[in-house]
Each structure stands twice: as C-alpha cells, then as structure tokens.
Amino acid sequence: MSVPELTIERPAPQVAVMRYSRPQTLNALDSAIRRDIADRLTELAEDDDVRAVVLAGTERAFAAGADLAEMAKVDSVAMHAWNTARSWKAIAAFPKPLIAAVSGFALGGGCELAMHCDIIVAGQSARFGQPEVKVGIIPGAGGTQRFTRAVGKFRANLYLMTGRVFDARTALEMGLVSEVVPDGEVDRTAIALASELAALPPLSLKFIKEAVALADNAPLDAALEFERRACQFLFSTQDKQEGMRAFLEKRRPAFSGR
C-alpha cells in the first residue's frame, strides 16, 4: 500500500498540520502535489474547527525545489497549460494564519512555498535558496518578488543571481524567517505558535494578514485606509466586546470568531 504524500494531522484544538512527505525526492514539488496543497488549504479555509495551519515537510527537507525530472520533459506551452498560478494563488489566498515549519532544505519552489506563509519557523540546520539560475531558468512562483520584498534588492540579487544556498541564521538576519530553533523543536514550536494564534480572534488575524499583504502591494495611503476601516469594522464584532470585557474583568477571553 502506498503512503500518502500529503497528510493532515490535528495535534491540538483548532490547529491542523499539513505534512508533505516524498522522501525519495527530498520532497520535490511536482505539479500534482502543488495542486493538492492548494486544494487541501481551500478545504481547511472552510473548516470552522481549524483556526491556524502548520505546513511541514520531513526532517531532511521542507521541499527541495520543483521536481526537475518532471520539468525537464516539458516546454513552455506545457508549462503554460499547467496553470501553476492557480495553485500558488490559492495558497496565497488562504485566509487563516499559515506557519511554515522548515527543517532541512527549502530550495527553489520550496523556498517560495515557505514565503507564501505568514510566519516561518526554521531549524538551525535549515537551508534556503533560489537556485533556479543554475538550471537555466528563474524563480516562477514569486521568488524574485517575495524574496526581494523580504530582504531588499541587493541581498536578493546576490542570492538570486548566484543561486547560492544560505543557512537559517543568515535567513533570520536578512528578515526571511521569523524564528530559528533547535532542529528537533521545529514542529513543536510551530504547533505551539499555531495554538497561540488559534486562541486569538479569527477576524482580527484575517484583517492583520490582509493589511500586512497590502504593505508590499499598495500605496501607503491606500494601505492605511484599509487598516483604519478594518479596525473600525472590528468594533462591531462579538470578539471585540469579549476581548475588552475580559481585559477589564481580568480573565482569559474566549473568542468565537464572530
């Protein structure tokens, strides 16, 4: 019996872990698994019992890039027909907190997948990079854009143009990852963080996620206007009432998502 490449675990209340395991290829991302990740995230977006998701690989690799054995066989017409943008857009549009738990390699499409998440927790031995230039192409799932926005033009060009791989501490120093932890604590840290987020008001987190995304893509005035309107809207939610009442009553709030 074959082992599923993509599984969903429920390690804590309102937390899901989506784990990708294809060890024979160091979790290389083929077109089918990209679609599967997007489809499963779309399902989790509609699941009211899930408030935060951890995206994880295996000990040796989060995802070591695209599946070159598959890509070597196709031309530009076939690549266009794959419509990979559909899968990547679905991942980027996931409305709940999405945490990448990165152990081992996160290269090429794997690095891009991590950058589609809201928070990246990396193990000390994790390795990142966009080495597409070394096989005659460039990143095609946001690597040139998200990486540049995270680390700045000149650091981005250094790694994009050379294809160099860099370690977790360098990624942290550049602002690419959120936190670096011992290798054996990556999943546990990410799940604990997801549990922390799951206890917070879902609508507030959704609007924070949208507002932060606008910081990269919209003029400052437009982004500030969105922030103001989102803040004003939240004043009509039950969670705003519960949060402020709990603060004044010195108790832990119980947020409902309404």
The alpha carbon of residue 52 and the mean position of all alpha carbons in its chain are separated, in whole angstroms, by 11
Among 217, 62, 57, 216, residue whose Cα is nearest residue 151:
216
First to last CA, the chain: 43
Q: Which domains are delineated in the chain?
A: 6-198 (3.90.226.10), 202-248 (1.10.12)
Catalytic residue set: 66, 109, 112, 132
Q: pTM for the complete prediction? A: 0.93
Question: What is the edge-to-edge ordering of all strands in the sheet holding 52-56?
Answer: 6-12, 15-20, 52-56, 98-102, 119-123, 179-181
Structure tokens at 102: 């990165």
| Segment 218-253, tens digit of pLDDT | 999 999 999 999 999 999 999 999 999 999 999 999
| Segment 26-84, tens digit of pLDDT | 998 888 889 999 999 999 999 999 999 999 999 999 999 877 777 787 778 877 777 77
Separation CA 213–CA 234 (nearest Å)? 18
